[in-house]
Amino acid sequence: MENILGYKIIENKKIAKDVFKMMLEGDTSQITNPGQFINIELEGFYLRRPISICDYDDKTITVIYKVVGNGTDFMSNLKPGKVLNILTGLGNGFDINCDGDNPLLIGGGVGTPPMYNLCKKLLNAGKKPIVVLGFNTEEDVFSEKEFIDLGVDVYISTVDGSYGTKGFVTDIIKNLNGYSYFYACGPMPMLKALAVYAEEHGMEAQISLEERMACGIGACLGCICKTKEKDHHTNVNNTRICKDGPVFDAKEVVFA
């Protein structure tokens, strides 16, 4: 279900290089799963900005976003008290019913935020998630403490080795044991590497492809992704990430 309402900014602060955390107050009744997203209207911008939900409760939504252009730059300068028009309850989100007790949660850069509420939901379901986060360099790292405060083990990689393990998330997960399922969100090359890893190791994986979204409302067709199965509406091997995803079974996605 989708719901357009006004949401008041409670907090909007920088937490890493070009990365901001915004907390909004308003109706959250349409949000049903971790990994869903919201679509924010910004004054003076034609298209809304789709941003994944980091966390939510019965009256607040928290998002973490990166400044990558004029819209997100404008957003980063908004002050508490400002009311934004937001569409909530978008996307399918993650299914928390997974095999095994120790699912791996893998976030790459700004693919990290949706892992936070997912981690909480899995903990509530009696699972013991392991969190692996990948960034380019130390000044990009965020959310490590928040995950540690949930009581889970957190492993971090940076490409340049300035923080945590040098390399990529795959350099960490190949040395971890005891997991049989993973959830991931991040850049496409990371998701592709993880989908290959899952297949080679006979594991199930859910991946969120939100990086590819532009309008987030099914209007621009900028989020098309190839799938192995034909779409039952269109009978072609394409799907719109914003409407049918952003979360997919890793086995279903055809990577470029």
DSSP bridge pairs for 62? 23, 55
Q: Does 100 bind ligand FES (CB under 6 A)?
A: no
Q: Does 221 bind ligand FES (CB under 6 A)?
A: yes
CB of 47 to ligand FES, least distance (A): 8
Q: With CB under 6 A as the contact rule, which of the stretches 120-128, 163-171, 192-200, 237-245 interacts with ligand FES?
A: 237-245
Q: Which is nearer to ligand FES, 48 or 120 (CB)?
A: 48
Instruction: Tell me the torsion sign for CA atoms 179, 188, 211, 141.
Output: positive
**How far apart are alpha carbons 62 and 102 in whole angstroms?**
25
# residues contacting ligand FES (CB under 6 A): 13
Range 120-149, binding ligand FES (CB under 6 A): none
CB-based contact 226:238 (threshold 8 Å) = yes
Q: Which residue has tokens 């937490």?
A: 15
Q: Does 187 bind ligand FES (CB under 6 A)?
A: no
Q: Does 222 bind ligand FES (CB under 6 A)?
A: yes
| Amino acid in position 59 | K
Helix, coil or strand: residue 11: strand
Report CA Rg, the chain: 17
Of the candidates 252, 256, 206, 208, the one whose C-alpha atom is nearest the C-alpha of residue 230 is: 252
Residue of 48, 49, 120, 240 that binds ligand FES (CB under 6 A): 240
Q: Which is nearer to ligand FES, 119 or 241 (CB)?
A: 241
DSSP bridge pairs for 184? 106, 207
CB of 82 to ligand FES, least distance (A): 25
| Count of Cβ atoms closer than 10 Å to residue 113 Cβ | 29
Q: Which is nearer to ligand FES, 64 or 225 (CB)?
A: 225
Of the candidates 203, 145, 152, 146, the one whose C-alpha atom is nearest the C-alpha of residue 174 is: 203
**How far apart are alpha carbons 102 and 145 in whole angstroms?**
20
Q: Which is nearer to ligand FES, 38 or 223 (CB)?
A: 223
Q: Does 223 bind ligand FES (CB under 6 A)?
A: yes
Would you give the binding string for ligand FES spanning residues 201-220, x where CB under 6 A is met? ------------xxxx-xxx
Q: Which is nearer to ligand FES, 176 or 221 (CB)?
A: 221
| Amino acid in position 105 | L
Residue of 16, 53, 141, 242 that binds ligand FES (CB under 6 A): 242
CB of 151 to ligand FES, least distance (A): 36
Q: Which is nearer to ligand FES, 49 or 120 (CB)?
A: 49
- Region label for 155, one of left (φ > 0), alpha (ψ between -120 and 50) or beta (otherwise): beta
Q: Which is nearer to ligand FES, 129 or 216 (CB)?
A: 216
Catalog residues that contact ligand FES under the rule CB under 6 A. Answer: 213-216, 218-223, 240-242
